[in-house]
Copies of this chain bind each other. A is one copy, B any other.
Amino acid sequence: MTKTNRSLTICIRLLWLWEKSLLLLLLLPNFCSTQTIIKNLPGFSGDLPFKLETGYVGVGNKDELQLFYYFIESERSPENDPLLLWITGGPRCSSFSGLVYENGPISFSFTSITKHPVELVLNPYSWTKLANIIFLDAPAGTGFSYSTTADGYNTSDTIHAKRASEFLQRWLLTHPKFLANPLYISGDSYSGKIVPIIVQEITNGIEAGIAPSLNLKGYVIGNPVTNRKEELNSQIEFAHRMTLISTRMFESTKRNCKGEYVDVDPNNELCLNNLQAFEECISRLEESHILAPACAPGIDDDNFLSFPFPEQLCRVERQRYSEVWANDMNVRKALNIREGTKAEWARCNSSIPYIKDVRSSVDYHRNLMQKSLRAFVYSGDHDLKVPHVSTEAWIESLSLPIVDDWKAWFSNNQVAGYRVGYSNGEYHLTYATIKGGGHTGPEFNPRESFDMIERWLEHSPL
């Protein structure tokens, strides 16, 4: 079943076109991109029934950042379906995590008796059934992406976003057939902060007439980090709403901490006691979904594969599969990973220096509200990491007129959540909850998330 992968290296001299001045600039240097069409993957029996391309795109002044991506063509109509750039959060978590645990066409099988070798199965609710998706490992150091210089690893919210936007521009130069497809920037969790900055970068580029001109239509963010302090603060209210703390504790905590649970006066003992009680109440929960099985304390990560298969895998255990898989030399060969570029693949690589230089992305949304764009924000409503409570608060703070009031939306003939539509004429924002959902929509509610994104991408009511 093994077929030779077709590997292609394309070098392009960059052209930046300033629309206003009609000034044609030739900027140095050229950049090169590698592309490989992958026919088979270890762990998946037979040929892949979808078109997977992996590759590197060089960004930065000297192509020093080599950003790795997985591109999957829409299984429906690649030429007409939208193009999504997907960035998994963290920051510094590989988008392979999004691909394999969320909205990509393959996922791990968790039903085998043994954990090894890792087995891949098809995901019937892959978003690639209706969209072309680039899963990008960014910033450099994330997943299989790397930098040829030490300095290339120094990054921040704004640098990350700028590089991702540069990536997209260059990727489209080598994939011109997707230039006309409606383009959406997407991601969840920490990407909630990055996606609006990328969108801002792209609109800046479009307005500046930079070629190629991207057909940007909007953005999609799930359980988005927006203002971390606000999100952490909202955990207290969320915990009360979900009855993880009692009303008595909630009132006492609010009163003693004066509504501020992050920047706490170290002399405020009453508040500190309240917060300790809160911590005790939530410490043994799976933070990404309060109803999902949490990992037993003291799980020895290094011996993951030698553990017996439990009744129900906890999230961290499921996530370990990606590391087993991506550190397998056969997998790297199949994916055409450049040898010697990545000693160990980590789902999230927190060793890369990262400066959080954007406190809140609300101002970006506020700015994008002046553009002709469609925004989609969804929240699994059982997520304690980024509670929907804070997401709803910042959306409301935009003071956008409601054009479609809060109402249930359906999937499989069941209430799948609630949605509300805002618009100021040019800018349209849809917010949806996923009832019983968690931090990562498609991970916990694949069918509902698929129906949701399909309708939204097709401009249908949720």
List the interface of chain A (C-beta within 8 A of B): 240-249, 277, 280-281, 284-285, 290-291, 293-294, 296, 311, 381, 388, 392, 396, 405-408, 410, 412-415, 418, 420, 433, 435-436
Q: Which residue of B lies closest to A245 (CB)?
A: B406
Contact across chains for A243 and B296 when beta carbons are under 8 A apart: no
Q: Give A407 to B281 CA distance when docked, in angstroms.
A: 6
Q: Give A293 to B242 CA distance when docked, in angstroms.
A: 20
For A284, the chain B residues whose CB sits under 8 A away are 408, 410, 414-415
Q: Give A449 to B144 CA distance when docked, in angstroms.
A: 47
For A396, the chain B residues whose CB sits under 8 A away are 247-248
Q: Give A189 to B411 CA distance when docked, in angstroms.
A: 30
Instruction: Determine how close the nearest CB of chain B comes to the CB of A385; give it in whole angstroms.
Output: 16
Contact across chains for B246 and A415 when beta carbons are under 8 A apart: no
Contact across chains for A414 and B246 when beta carbons are under 8 A apart: no
Total copies of this chain within the assembly: 2
Contact across chains for A281 and B392 when beta carbons are under 8 A apart: no
Other A-B contacts than A277-B405, A284-B408, 15 sampled, CB-CB below 8 A, are A240-B241, A243-B381, A243-B388, A243-B435, A244-B435, A246-B392, A246-B418, A246-B420, A247-B392, A280-B408, A281-B406, A284-B414, A294-B414, A294-B415, A311-B412
For A241, the chain B residues whose CB sits under 8 A away are 240-243
For A412, the chain B residues whose CB sits under 8 A away are 311
A–B complex contacts, Cβ < 8 Å, 19 sampled = A241-B242, A242-B381, A243-B381, A243-B388, A243-B418, A244-B418, A245-B418, A247-B396, A248-B396, A248-B406, A277-B405, A277-B406, A281-B406, A281-B408, A281-B418, A290-B435, A291-B435, A293-B414, A294-B414
Contact across chains for B413 and A296 when beta carbons are under 8 A apart: yes
Instruction: Determine how close the nearest CB of chain B comes to the CB of A171; give it in whole angstroms.
Output: 38
Q: Give A179 to B129 CA distance when docked, in angstroms.
A: 67
Q: Which residue of B lies closest to A284 (CB)?
A: B415
For A277, the chain B residues whose CB sits under 8 A away are 405-406
For A291, the chain B residues whose CB sits under 8 A away are 435-436
The listed residue with most B CB atoms (<10 A of its CB), out of A243, A293, A407, A415, is A243
Contact across chains for B293 and A433 when beta carbons are under 8 A apart: no
If the complex has contacts A285-B415, A414-B293, A415-B285, are A243 and B407 also in contact, measured as CB distance less than 8 A?
A: no
If the complex has contacts A244-B418, A290-B435, are A249 and B280 also in contact, measured as CB distance less than 8 A?
A: no
Q: Which residue of B lies closest to A249 (CB)?
A: B406
Instruction: Determine how close the nearest CB of chain B comes to the CB of A237; give it in whole angstroms.
Output: 10
- The 3 A-B pairs at the shortest CB distance, nearest first, are namely A241-B241, A246-B406, A291-B436
The listed residue with most B CB atoms (<10 A of its CB), out of A241, A294, A311, is A241
Instruction: Determine how close the nearest CB of chain B comes to the CB of A422; give it in whole angstroms.
Output: 11
Q: Give A373 to B280 CA distance when docked, in angstroms.
A: 30
For A243, the chain B residues whose CB sits under 8 A away are 241, 381, 388, 418, 433, 435
For A281, the chain B residues whose CB sits under 8 A away are 406-408, 418
For A240, the chain B residues whose CB sits under 8 A away are 241
Instruction: Determine how close the nearest CB of chain B comes to the CB of A282; give it in whole angstroms.
Output: 8
Instruction: Determine how close the nearest CB of chain B comes to the CB of A391; give it in whole angstroms.
Output: 11
Q: Give A435 to B240 CA distance when docked, in angstroms.
A: 13
For A410, the chain B residues whose CB sits under 8 A away are 284
For A280, the chain B residues whose CB sits under 8 A away are 407-408
For A248, the chain B residues whose CB sits under 8 A away are 396, 406
Instruction: Determine how close the nearest CB of chain B comes to the CB of A324; give it in whole angstroms.
Output: 24
Q: Give A174 to B460 CA distance when docked, in angstroms.
A: 68
Instruction: Determine how close the nearest CB of chain B comes to the CB of A27; give it in whole angstroms.
Output: 49
Q: Give A247 to B281 CA distance when docked, in angstroms.
A: 25
Instruction: Determine how close the nearest CB of chain B comes to the CB of A278; give it in whole angstroms.
Output: 10
For A408, the chain B residues whose CB sits under 8 A away are 280-281, 284
